[in-house]
């Protein structure tokens, strides 16, 4: 699954002469579903889209808050052309999931986003329609995201799930607590080390 995620001040979808959906500040997500996508790809995309830190915090510090942290809106638009493979100069879309399968798949993803976040803040376009999408990019900030091709072996999947759970448990402690623990460990290893370890933690991994 591929997604083009844009931080926007506003975005809207029009079909014909009718505006069917619009948002204010938040994220506009163009989503391309592959023939190989499964529920694991949905889980990955939903987690990333809602947790990407593309917004500033209350003190104006950039790249500190997610769309959920700020209570902002998300507009999702299905776009099979993201699965394009060029053959010479001609686009080929055989990697895209057929519409009759992609539509229920896409709807399930929207439902999962609404269950994870606030349902009234998740908007979408009109699947399969010829849409006019107005995007007012803020920044500009644009992120290209692709779900990873992971192992299918059950033991490997179980291992990955355990690793993810440990990361989430570590993040739940909060940056300041994590920094204090690291400082304490360094102090034990090197008594002469400085105790001022509350540094920038912006490089920690995301969900």
Residues annotated as catalytic (active site), given as ranges: 79-81
Output the CA torsion 104→14→68→169 (10° steps). 30
34 vs 97: CA distance, rounded Å: 5
Q: Which residues of 129-144 are buried (b: 16+ CB within 10 A; e: fewer)?
A: eebeeebeebeebeee
Give the 3-state secondary structure of residue 94: coil
Task: Report CA-CA distances (Å) from 63 to 18, 27, 53, 58.
Answer: 35, 14, 5, 12
20 vs 132: CA distance, rounded Å: 10
The encoded tokens of residue 135 equal 């995007």
Give the residue ranges of DSSP H helices in 5-98: 39-51, 67-70
At a CB cut-off of 8 Å and minimum separation 6, what does 51 contact? Answer: 66, 68, 206, 207
């Amino acid at each position: 699954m591929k997604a083009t995620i844009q931080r926007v001040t506003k975005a809207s979808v029009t079909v014909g002469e009718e505006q069917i959906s619009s948002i204010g500040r938040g994220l506009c997500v163009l989503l391309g579903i592959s023939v190989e996508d499964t529920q694991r790809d949905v889980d990955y995309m939903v987690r990333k889209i809602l947790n990407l830190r593309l917004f500033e915090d209350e003190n104006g510090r950039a790249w500190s808050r997610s769309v959920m942290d700020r209570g902002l809106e998300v507009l999702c638009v299905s776009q099979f052309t993201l699965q394009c493979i060029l053959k010479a100069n001609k686009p080929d879309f055989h990697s895209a999931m057929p519409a009759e399968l992609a539509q229920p798949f896409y709807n399930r993803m929207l439902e999962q986003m609404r269950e994870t976040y606030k349902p009234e803040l998740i908007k979408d376009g009109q699947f399969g329609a010829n849409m006019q999408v107005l995007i007012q990019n803020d920044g500009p900030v644009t992120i290209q995201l692709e779900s990873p091709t992971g192992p299918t072996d059950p033991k490997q999947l179980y291992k990955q799930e355990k690793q993810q759970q440990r990361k989430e448990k570590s993040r739940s402690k909060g940056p300041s607590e994590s920094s204090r623990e690291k400082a304490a460990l360094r102090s034990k290893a090197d008594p002469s080390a400085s105790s001022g370890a509350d540094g920038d933690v912006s490089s920690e991994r995301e969900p």
